[in-house]
């Protein structure tokens, strides 16, 4: 399984490099995006003990418990 994912990643990288080389040859500028965030806050729930694994059953039980 690990070897298959590594081969897939190498294939993606080769495809990206070919695309980048092609755009460089013809002189196409790829637009760049800059994102700036102000006053960002992130909230999350952490479960410890038996329902920590994100299985379908545990996710459903966690959702029902929070309603």
23 within 8 A of 30, measured Cβ to Cβ: yes
Whether the predicted model's global pTM rises above the 0.75 cut: no
Does pLDDT of 6 surpass 80?
no
Q: What is the per-residue pLDDT across 32-65, written as a single tens digit (0 to 9) for each? A: 888 888 998 888 877 666 666 778 888 788 778 7
The rounded distance, in Å, linking the Cα atoms of 62 and 65 is: 5
Beta-carbon contacts of 30 under 8 Å, excluding residues fewer than 6 positions away, are 23
CA pair distance 62, 10, nearest whole angstrom: 38
């Amino acid at each position: 399984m690990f070897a298959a994912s590594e081969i897939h990643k190498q294939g993606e990288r080769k495809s990206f490099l070919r695309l980048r080389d092609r755009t460089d040859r013809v002189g196409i500028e790829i637009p760049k995006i800059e994102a700036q965030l102000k006053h960002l806050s992130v909230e999350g729930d952490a479960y410890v003990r038996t329902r920590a694994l994100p299985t379908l059953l545990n996710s459903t039980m966690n959702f029902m418990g929070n309603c």
